[in-house]
């Protein structure tokens, strides 16, 4: 069997997306192995999830560093030491420096709870309700120095229902995130994603299918 792609997952909190990745990687046929989970928050629940799955964890508290550059240098060192070739951000609540983002360009991905480029940043579900959009969702994208701005790999859409609250909409999107993130990670591990002029092309997907992947498809 071909070697599995080693990844590091960066978290700050509950880690439900991390759990989706751990569950996917528990299948020996899944082409990815999680080498390390890093949290900047010592009591992030995601760390427990990683330990339960037998995956190495490391806490790197951002508060212990004099600058963003110094914190990112510590992240970089830990990731490289783990042997990870790809970084997955999964609810990691720190802005990354330009230097770090550029060092991992094309090798770092993020999941964001909106249909980018709409609703970058925080409070995406409330903002989607207030904007009156009828479709909302989540996106997996390559990370670039600008927040929530890199080439899109996969997206999943959900309806916004008239009675939705921020919480009900968040739950519907989160269920999609848990399917979409492993799906996107598999595409990368299989070497099927290429960035051409800022746009991700996916081998094996014909025409328009490549811009939106439904979790069911």
**Residue 112 interacts with ligand GRF (CB under 6 A)?**
yes
In this structure, the number of other CB atoms found within 10 A of the CB of residue 197 comes to 6
- For ligand GRF, the binding residue among 17, 39, 101, 144 (CB under 6 A) is 17
For the window 23-62, what string marks contact with ligand GRF as x by the rule CB under 6 A? ----------------------------------------
**Residue 150 interacts with ligand GRF (CB under 6 A)?**
no
- For ligand GRF, the binding residue among 16, 118, 168, 214 (CB under 6 A) is 16
- Tell me the three state secondary structure of residue 17: helix
Q: Given the complex with ligand GRF, which of 42 and 81 has the nearer CB atom?
A: 42
Residue of 11, 57, 21 whose CA lies nearest to 189: 21
Least CB distance from residue 206 to ligand GRF, whole Å?
28
Show Cβ contacts of residue 95 under 8 Å, excluding neighbours closer than 6 positions: 68, 147
**Residue 91 interacts with ligand GRF (CB under 6 A)?**
yes
* Residue 178 appears among annotated catalytic residues: no
- Angle of CA points 16, 6, 147, to nearest 5°: 55
Q: CA 144 to CA 140: how far, in whole Å?
A: 13
- For ligand GRF, the binding residue among 111, 154, 156, 185 (CB under 6 A) is 111
Interface size with ligand GRF, residues (CB under 6 A)? 14
CA torsion through residues 201, 38, 149, 72, sign: negative
Q: CA 73 to CA 68: how far, in whole Å?
A: 8
Least CB distance from residue 171 to ligand GRF, whole Å?
10
Least CB distance from residue 123 to ligand GRF, whole Å?
11
Task: Say if residues 31 and 43 touch (Cβ distance below 8 Å).
Answer: no
Tell me which residues touch ligand GRF (CB under 6 A). Answer: 13-18, 90-91, 111-113, 138, 174, 177
């Amino acid at each position: 069997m071909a070697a599995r792609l080693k990844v590091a997952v960066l978290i700050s909190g509950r880690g439900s997306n991390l759990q989706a990745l751990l569950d996917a990687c528990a299948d020996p046929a899944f082409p990815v192995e999680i080498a390390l989970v890093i949290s900047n928050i010592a009591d992030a629940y995601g760390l427990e999830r990683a330990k339960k799955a037998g995956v190495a964890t490391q806490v790197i508290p951002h508060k212990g560093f004099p600058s963003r550059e110094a914190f990112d240098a510590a992240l970089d060192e830990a990731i490289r030491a783990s042997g990870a070739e790809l970084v997955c951000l999964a609810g990691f609540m720190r802005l990354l420096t330009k230097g770090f983002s550029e060092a991992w360009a094309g090798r770092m991905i993020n999941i964001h709870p909106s249909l980018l480029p709409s609703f970058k940043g925080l409070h995406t579900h409330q903002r989607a309700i207030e904007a009156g959009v009828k479709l909302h969702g989540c996106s997996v994208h390559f990370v670039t120095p600008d927040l929530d701005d890199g080439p899109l790999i996969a997206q999943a859409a959900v309806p916004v229902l008239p009675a939705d609250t921020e919480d009900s909409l968040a739950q519907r999107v989160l269920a999609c995130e848990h399917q979409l993130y492993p799906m996107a990670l598999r595409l990368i591990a299989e070497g099927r994603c290429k960035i051409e002029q800022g746009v991700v092309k996916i081998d094996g997907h014909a025409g328009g299918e490549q811009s939106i992947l439904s979790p069911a498809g």
